[in-house]
Structure 1
Amino acid sequence: MPSKSSSRLASLTVAAVCTTVSGVVLTTPAHADTVRIHDIQGTTRTSPLAGRTVTDVAGIVTGVRTYGSSRGFWIQDPSPDNDPATSEGVFVFTSSAPKVAVGDSVAVTGTVSEYVPGGASTGNQSLTEITKPTVTVLSGGNAVPDPVVVDARSVPDRYTPAGDKAANGSVNGLALRPQKYALDFYESLEGMNVQVSDTRVVTATDPYTELWVTVKPHENADRRGGTVYGSYDSQNTGRLQIQSLGPVADFPTADVGDTLTGTTAGPMDFNQFGGYTLVANRIGTLKSGGLQRETTRKQSRDELALATYNVENLDPADTTFAAHASAIVNNLRSPDIVSLEEIQDDNGATDDGTVGASLTVNKLIDAIVAAGGPRYEWRSIDPVNDQDGGEPGGNIRQVFLFNPGRVSFTDRAGGDSTTAVGVTKVHGKAQLTASPGRIDPAGEAWTNSRKPLAGEFVFRGRTVFVIANHLTSKGGDQPLTAQYQPPARSSETQRHLQATEVNTFVKAILAKQGNADVVTVGDMNDFEFSDTTKILEGHGELWSAIKSLPASERYTYDYQGNSQVLDQILVSPSIRRGCDFDYDSVHINSEFHDQISDHDPQVLRFRP
């Protein structure tokens, strides 16, 4: 086919042949041993030609990426084979801005490589590429191969096969079964032109100009438009990340429940932060779902309202104080006690030995008053500098806010950053040896992690023990799309030790006073169905109250298209047995592109 831009054609030193396929003229150099793209991709996740040089691989350019650290372009063979397991597309990594355009017919010579986004330590699958390429443009203006439709009918309901035990659980060497497993289906399309249509957004647009949609609108749907993550064994297969090959300014700013109407199409990529990704050169039109931030009800006079809220690295330089204050006053309706996570020290991430947080906390309290809320009092314990994890220099910690007009705090001296709080029995009642105090701050479980903060409150003459937590993060766990299936969750090791210590402390309170009201709150960094939660709950010492909600309403965080639980409030038997409690996961952040934190606050109301 004649080129529409003949000035871009490279001269050829070999004879060429022309093949007409579905109206597309694909020009390739004449070699008897020409390798096709599906030969490179093969029938497993890794190429049978990895490490080898391939010559004059023919294809039509379907997408060009000129930005970031992975510059290059995708090519696709318009003459597919009959094997659904072999992809007909591949990425050509050029490192610099490629000099091809969509619709070019090209011949590529280079080395077949398997690139692991983020490095082998992530456990990620690899992306098959052609690297160190020599590219010959044969013609321009050719029709791009029609995209493969990805929808509820084409994506299998089963997520992934189990890994090969002989290969340490890797799925890389397993034959792809794209009609049985969702990850196999997506892998069989790696590098190919694909499309989705009229898809609902299930993770809002983030600062990196990406969002997630679902092609299965009924799959574990919640009432606000998301897709709920309910167990390790029931993955949501319809989730797909969307990025853009076009200008950032043109990318839709979407919230959960919005819809990308019409067609979104482009090459199927695989990256470190999300796995299989449709990199769109055509994006559907955004239709708002009208999602609104939730407001919980006001507690009654005889109800104690206790909230937990991760305010995401709050420090005095942030511009979100008014917004957080409004959320606490207007959306949470000024709870009697608010346990805050991720309060940073008075100069934020500046690592100069500062550990005090009075400026941070008092700025928030002042903002709450300005928003019409009560003037909270607060208690906390400063950490040892740079010993509690989080952002270097930030010294994050938990802080209790409490409304002195409704509840009092029992101050008992002795609590500091390194002294472990204990439990004694006084006049037949459990009592903390220090209030506030930290649970076993020198213990192995809390190395480079936030130590739990325990305190005694009194409401209407009844003591309530509150333990504020921020357990170690899930960082370092293998992703759901890892080559190892099931993926390893290495962060659980420390988190299980932490959960054991918290449960042991609660048991110590209940041993002294069986009917004590104990509430364990915070960012547990794990799901309500996880082993972490089971360890916290023990043999009935605690119970995660978010499980009182319908399964479709159990989420506090939104990650990679999964609405999931990370923040929890667990209660002792005296609270659970009475059934006189009310739980609300107040969705004000996780579903929105303009979130002020990545966590939704939780509120428990009960009558001690």
Structure 2
Amino acid sequence: MRPSLALSIACSLLLASCGSTQTALSPSAAILAQTQKVAVLSVPVAAEVKFVELILTDKKGAAQTFSAVPADGSAVFQLGKVGNGDFQAAVRAYDASDKKVVLYKGAAPVNLKAGTAATFPALTRVSASVTVNATPTLDKTATFTAKLGETSLPMTVAGGVASVKFADVPTARSLSVTVQGKASDGQPTQTGSATFTLGDGGATVPVTLSEIASCPVVEGAVTAIPAIQGSGAASPLVGQSVTVRGVVTSDLQSGLGGFYVQDAAGDSDPATSDGVFVFTGLGSAAAPQPVAVGDLVQFTGTVKEFKSPATATESATQLDTVSNFVKCAPGLVVKPVEVKAPFNDLERYEGMLVTFPEKLTVTDNFSYGRFGELGLSAGGRLFNPTNGNVSPAPSAAELAARRIILDDRSSRQNPATVAYLEGGTRRTGDTVTGLTGALHFANNAFKVQPTADPVFVNENPRSATPKAVGGTLTVAGANVLNYFTTFGASTDRGASSAYEFGRQKTKVIAALKGLDADIVTLMEVQNNGDAALNDLVAGLNTAYGAETYKAVQTGVIGTDAIKVAIIYKPARVRPVGSFAIDPNPVYSRPPLAQSFQDLGKGGVLTVVANHFKSKGSCPTSGDVDTGQGCWNQLRVQQSQALLSFAQTLKTRVNDQDVLIMGDLNAYGQEDPINTIVAGGYASLNLRIPEADRYSYQFGGLFGYLDHALATTNLNSQVTGITEWHINADEPVFIDYNVEFKNNPNCVGTNCTSPDLYTPDAFRASDHDPVLVGLNLSADTVTEPVTPLSVSATGPDTVTAGQPYTLSVGAGGTPDSLKVNWGDGSAEETLAAGATSAAHTYASAGPVTITVTATRGAETKTATKSVTVNSAPVTGAGRLVISQVYGGGGNTGAPFTNDFIEIFNAGSGPVNLNGYSVQYASATGTSWAVTPLGTVNLAAGQYYLVQGAAGTTVTNAPLPTPDVIGTTNLSGTNGKVALASSTVALTGINPVGGALVDLVGYGSANGFEGNAAPALSNTTAGLRAGNGCTDTNQNGADFAAGAPTPRTTASPANICP
């Protein structure tokens, strides 16, 4: 059975009377005394008391000792064997049972009586003195201060020992004392600390001092870096000369022209930065200082607020004009301060060593190649607020507060080495954690200059193929970024040379081949009839090794320099009826529609290619940017017109399956898209996971401008959709362009960036392509009856003797298409599907061109009025050979064909009727003749003669030549002649007679004066002055350079 409460208390009393440690088991002192008929003494104690000792001395001097562990603020002693009477009581209260540190004491007479409880008076806190002795002391230390708790006392030095005595220090364990020594100017020079136990007998504490790195004492004041920075955006000391001490945290003198220093201790004010940038100069004006990270330095400089560029609205605080520089000590360590998003107030960290503990994501690599910068963001990549990825949509301020820029420690543009690359790229979506560096300010933005290369995680690796979309039929939308086959004219937007075009074409073809879609809608194809489109399809089929694709031939669409287009696989689908173009003038670029039947399952759908008005080129009033980019109202109107157009398409083939594709220049939740969705279309892009729902990057924000929207009926037949991220994530500078790159074809003095071009799909454009999978239901095909129509468009004027190009459009598949040029010449019958025709007028005057289309008994005509102007006759013409290239089709050649370029360097026109260019080998006497056309070559005009094609490789085609020949030129050595006759020349070095000009190159034995330089697969012979220089010395007049073929369509070059 359990013992009774009385028995338990009795046992406790027995233990207490024997001098054992008392545990607080009784409910209260009074109850205990009454129930057990014993004397009880209660001693109130503080919470830190853990053990109490009681000594009772009777009148005879006999003493008994008791102990107790306090509970509930009291130590209760049960004094059963003491007896009744008067006693002298002494109490000592300790912090632990080892009784090393007594915290409280007390003594008082007590009267004890069985059955009653007495309370001991309040105890007194025990204190003692502490003597601190610090050694060794250094001569440079002028004063010492000891700090114990919250009390600091100055110390005296005698015999190499700094001493001080603290009186009345409360006893305690693990007390700490810190000693700091300072030089006469206040900078710390020595420090030390010690931990000790203070009992009631006091303590003497030895402290060993260590030396702190310090600088020589200077005359005058030393200004703390936080005082220079101040608490505002600009320094309160601008223009003043200050002496500064600090620790070097980053040496960027070779890249930024300066280094960062930071106050070793700081001022503990969160509003003021402890670091500052010290500018020592760049280039020939540089005066670098011999610093290393961790150096304690002292110098004098001038406080400046520097703007970069000079037009910037905000400035960076820095020091320059450095003098009296002293390196005081090496090896100091500055701990970086942690910075976490949101990054709203970075001014207080300007110039300091900072670290970002959280994961940061690359969200902007637009200026990566130009400036070596990467935009990073906390919380993942940043999406445009109107894209619909986050609800509610974040504000611009919220997005900005998540951004920080990683720089490359250099202010150089187009750096020869681009930092942080891996595998020739640095894609957005990659991440870095623990980024550490100096916080720099330039270009109105804070930038981290890392102290070590950050380690990136490739969280967004390239994908060699798009994600699977399923289905039995695929439709893609691809922006081909100004695919132009002509270069140099004011209306040309794409590649600036044939060399660049070859690179661009390779990438575009790789992207389209990677999509491998059955139907492809294209955006940004040159609107030069179907020339650029057909060039692309030809190249794509060459890559496949078969006639895999065909293009929907439309000719010129609208008036913009670019158009939309559609290509398809005839083995997979067949066009149903002819194409349709919406003539509504609201469009920037009219949409193109074509119905197709799936040859596998028999399903029918209509695909509409679109390219809405862009968000740029903003007006000053009216349709301005109110949050969705400029021209949003116009894009809404275009959406409304598109819905009407699509409705007519459904009835055209009696099928409800319409797929709207293209660059609508509106993000996912913007008004133009909402308009189409409200009109009965499903946004297929919403099937893509939110984190992956983007096709374009602008200003470090992502979203999808490239859409796929399906009618309700078609939506149920969609098996999948993806956006193949081959473009938006990639740095711009890896594209086909050669500007600023270390490439022989780069023109200028800033060709310094690495050329990271690769012949693959990545950065083929600035938009990611969209791919849709379909599983169409079988349909009954209704062939539309397209009304017969014809159109004729072209320039309003032409010069006599110059070719005039007429753009011809025909609808309804005419049986025949004829052109009457209106000048009495024979009517010309055009080939089926022709979209243009050319004619050269011999004399001036107004003419009316008539185009006639017939289909059975139907006839439609279109006319175009043209004024033929007289050819200017202001002087005599002077024909020269201006360019020779024989490396066409060879390894490394930029072009497939050889060519000869003729130029009129005179002041009047020359009719080329009866002229020829002729070629002979380097030592040959037989001349191959290529007759020229009947053209009045105006002053300053070029004329391109195409030669034979090489057989080694197939490269870019020449611009449309003025005449096509079959002569095979040598790529290194040969002779070219221009003659006023089509009769072959004779001899090694023909002279006189019909000879107009002669060029011998390389080891040729025929030439004017001396031979021009030898050529190669990548170089042509170029006449100086763009053809104007003619000293009759081939060696002086010609130089080897990159071939740049020009035609009669190229800009004129009037010689002085």
Q: How much has 1:297 moved relative to structure 2?
A: 3.0
Q: Verify the 8 A CA contact 1:80 1:88 in the aligned structure 2.
A: yes
The aligned amino acid for 2:611 is: N
Q: How much has 1:19 moved relative to structure 2?
A: 2.3
Could you say which structure has the higher strand fraction? 2
Q: How much has 1:554 moved relative to structure 2?
A: 1.2
Q: How much has 1:199 moved relative to structure 2?
A: 5.1
The 1:269/1:130 distance shift into structure 2, 3 A limit, reads closer
Aligned to 1:424: none
Q: Verify the 8 A CA contact 2:360 2:431 in the aligned structure 1.
A: yes
Q: Indicate yes or no: 2:446 matched with 1:276.
A: yes
Aligned to 1:178: none
Separation in 2, partners of 1:115, 1:475: 29
Aligned to 2:575: 408
Q: Verify the 8 A CA contact 1:509 1:516 in the aligned structure 2.
A: no
Q: Indicate yes or no: 2:660 matched with 1:472.
A: no
Q: Verify the 8 A CA contact 2:360 2:377 in the aligned structure 1.
A: yes
Aligned to 1:351: none
Q: Indicate yes or no: 2:628 matched with 1:495.
A: no
- Secondary structure of 1:440's partner? coil
Aligned to 2:249: 62
Aligned to 2:544: 371
The 1:136/1:545 distance shift into structure 2, 3 A limit, reads farther
Q: How much has 1:505 moved relative to structure 2?
A: 1.0
Q: Indicate yes or no: 2:734 matched with 1:565.
A: no
Aligned match for 2:667, one of 485, 505, 527: 527
Aligned to 1:195: 355
Separation in 2, partners of 1:131, 1:255: 36
Q: Deviations over 1:99-131 (max 9, x none)?
A: 1334452435335326365845xxxx7342337
Q: Verify the 8 A CA contact 2:614 2:665 in the aligned structure 1.
A: yes
1:113-512 mapped onto 2 (5 Å cutoff): 113=305, 115=307, 119=311, 126-130=314-318, 133-139=321-327, 142-143=330-331, 146-150=334-338, 154-156=339-341, 181-184=342-345, 186-196=346-356, 202-203=362-363, 206-208=368-370, 209-212=372-375, 219=380, 231-233=393-395, 235=399, 239-245=403-409, 248=417, 251-253=420-422, 254-255=426-427, 264-272=435-443, 275-285=445-455, 291-293=461-463, 294-297=465-468, 300-301=471-472, 303=473, 305-311=475-481, 315=495, 317-330=501-514, 332=515, 334-343=516-525, 358-359=531-532, 362-363=535-536, 365-371=538-544, 374-379=548-553, 395-405=561-571, 406-408=573-575, 411=578, 435-436=580-581, 440=585, 446=588, 451-460=589-598, 462=604, 464-469=606-611, 471-473=613-615, 492-509=628-645
Separation in 1, partners of 2:394, 2:300: 42
Q: How much has 1:466 moved relative to structure 2?
A: 1.0
The 1:574/1:62 distance shift into structure 2, 3 A limit, reads same
Aligned to 2:771: 603
The 1:108/1:520 distance shift into structure 2, 3 A limit, reads farther
How well do the aligned residues superpose, as a CA RMSD in angstroms? 4.5
Q: How much has 1:283 moved relative to structure 2?
A: 1.0
The aligned amino acid for 1:192 is: M
Q: How much has 1:319 moved relative to structure 2?
A: 1.4
- Secondary structure of 2:694's partner? coil
Q: Verify the 8 A CA contact 1:438 1:452 in the aligned structure 2.
A: yes
The aligned amino acid for 2:549 is: R
Q: Deviations over 1:221-264 (max 9, x none)?
A: 99xxxxx8774346386654323227836644244565658x65
Q: Deviations over 1:13-33 (max 9, x none)?
A: xx995724895536685545x
Q: How much has 1:50 moved relative to structure 2?
A: 8.2
Q: Deviations over 1:140-191 (max 9, x none)?
A: 66446525254xxx513xxxxxxxxxxxxxxxxxxxxxxxx4232x443222
Separation in 1, partners of 2:245, 2:555: 65
Where structure 2 has 5 or more consecutive residues not aligned to the other structure, the ranges are 1-182, 192-211, 384-388, 411-415, 484-493, 735-761, 778-1056
Separation in 1, partners of 2:669, 2:332: 46
Separation in 2, partners of 1:357, 1:19: 79
Separation in 1, partners of 2:584, 2:298: 64
Q: Verify the 8 A CA contact 1:545 1:583 in the aligned structure 2.
A: yes
The 1:287/1:497 distance shift into structure 2, 3 A limit, reads closer
Separation in 2, partners of 1:476, 1:37: 46
Q: How much has 1:549 moved relative to structure 2?
A: 2.1
The 1:110/1:493 distance shift into structure 2, 3 A limit, reads same
Separation in 1, partners of 2:714, 2:217: 72
The aligned amino acid for 2:771 is: V
The aligned amino acid for 1:243 is: D
- Aligned-residue sequence identity (percent) comes to 18
Separation in 2, partners of 1:462, 1:117: 58
Q: TM-score, normalised by structure 2?
A: 0.40
Aligned match for 2:723, one of 563, 570, 585: 585
The aligned amino acid for 1:182 is: F
Q: How much has 1:457 moved relative to structure 2?
A: 3.1
Q: TM-score, normalised by structure 1?
A: 0.65
- Secondary structure of 2:509's partner? helix
Separation in 2, partners of 1:118, 1:379: 52
Q: How much has 1:495 moved relative to structure 2?
A: 3.5
Q: Deviations over 1:309-364 (max 9, x none)?
A: 3447654524143343233223x2x223323334458xxxxxxxxx6672475146
Q: How much has 1:547 moved relative to structure 2?
A: 1.7
The aligned amino acid for 2:606 is: V
Q: Verify the 8 A CA contact 1:495 1:532 in the aligned structure 2.
A: no
The 1:31/1:202 distance shift into structure 2, 3 A limit, reads same
- Secondary structure of 2:250's partner? strand
**Larger Rg computed on CA atoms:** 2
Aligned match for 2:304, one of 112, 129, 132: 112
Q: Verify the 8 A CA contact 2:476 2:769 in the aligned structure 1.
A: no
